[in-house]
Amino acid sequence: LENLQAAFNGESNAKAKYEAFAVKAEEEGYKSVAALFRAASQSEGIHAKKHAAVITGMGAEPKAEIAKPDVKSTKENLEAALAGETYEKETMYPEFIKQAEAEKNRAAVRTFRGAMLAEVEHAKLYKQALAELDAWKAAGKEFMVCQVCGYTEMSNPALVKCPVCSVPKEKFTVVK
């Protein structure tokens, strides 16, 4: 339960942070980076909701404290976002999954795992944006976000169903 609350708090803050980073990216003329931040923000909101449902299901109340996002340049914001995703996918969620498994809490395992797999993609996309930052000034990159689990990828016509939660592609929204 403590881990679920920590994850709920982290996802809620990530959602707010990426929204603010998207505004900054628009201001600096990085249109495709702004789209990526908007897509990731949507995804983190879905993670927060999913964690909240498990917390509620355990009879507790989800609690988050939203800090004012620390907005810097878009390049620095991407670096901060990449660091956050890397921590979540490599440290936080693997540890939380291990603990939830030890407690045989399958709902918690499922929600942590779903989030972790999306964070892997977020980290990849942030890395790519940093490597090609100038090219990401132009608009045109589109992202797909699974509205059920938050899985995110760059628009992919070959996608038929969500690789994480298996819902059909109709359950995805396109963010640009």
Of 73, 45, 56, the closest CA to residue 5 belongs to 56
Could you say whether residue 164 binds Fe ion (CB under 5 A)?
Answer: yes
Could you say whether residue 7 binds Fe ion (CB under 5 A)?
Answer: no
Q: How many residues does the chain have?
A: 176
Could you say whether residue 89 binds Fe ion (CB under 5 A)?
Answer: no
Single out the residue of 9, 42, 44, 89 in contact with Fe ion (rule: CB under 5 A). Answer: 44
Single out the residue of 111, 151, 153, 175 in contact with Fe ion (rule: CB under 5 A). Answer: 151
Could you say whether residue 39 binds Fe ion (CB under 5 A)?
Answer: no
Of 135, 128, 133, 115, the closest CA to residue 154 belongs to 128
Give least dist CB 110 to Fe ion, A.
11
Of 128, 157, 131, the closest CA to residue 144 belongs to 157
Burial class for 119, CB neighbours closer than 10 Å (0-12, 13-18, 19+): buried
Show the beta-strand stretches assigned E in the chain: 143-146, 152-154, 172-175
Please list every residue from 91 through 120 that binds Fe ion, using CB under 5 A. Answer: 115, 119
Token digits of residue 70: 């620390």
| Of 26-34, 60-68, 72-80, 157-165: span binding Fe ion (CB under 5 A) | 157-165
Give least dist CB 124 to Fe ion, A.
11
Q: 83 vs 138, which CB is nearer to Fe ion?
A: 83
* Binding residues for Fe ion (CB under 5 A): 11, 44, 47, 85, 115, 119, 122, 146, 148-149, 151, 162, 164-165
